[in-house]
Each structure stands twice: as structure tokens, then as C-alpha cells.
Amino acid sequence: MKFIGIKKMDSGKYINRYNLTYETEDGETKVYEMVSRDPDIRDFETLHGVDHSFE
């Protein structure tokens, strides 16, 4: 599957809800719901905790 994007759907006091969109190998779109305490997930790198600040 190929990651297409992430969209913040709702913010609470402690929990934030996101929709992650992927494209399957047969071209279909699949949306997964996710919750996180992180209020600022913007892309694939922040979703997976990749830190490029040292580069």
C-alpha cells in the first residue's frame, strides 16, 4: 500500500483523531482511523517518528 495523506479530524483535551489515507495495489482508496496524543501529526515522517532535525 502507498501512503497518500493524513488529515486531522478532531481535537480533544488529550486525544486527537486522524484519518490516514492509503492507496492499495489494485488502486482502491483505504481510510484508517487513528487516535493519538500528538496534536501535530502532519505527514508520514511525523506519523512514524522520523526526526530529520539532525541533518
Beta-carbon contacts of 21 under 8 Å, excluding residues fewer than 6 positions away, are 3, 4, 5, 6, 7, 29, 30, 31
The residue length of the chain stands at 55
Q: Please give the grid coordinates belonging to residue 52.
A: 530529520
Q: Look at residue 54 and tell me whether its pLDDT is greater than 60.
A: no
**Does the predicted TM-score (pTM) go above 0.95?**
no
15-30 pLDDT, tens digit each: 999 999 999 999 999 9
- The DSSP-derived string for the chain is -EEEEEEEEEE-SS-EEEEEEEE-TTS-EEEEEEEES-S---SHHHHTT---TT-
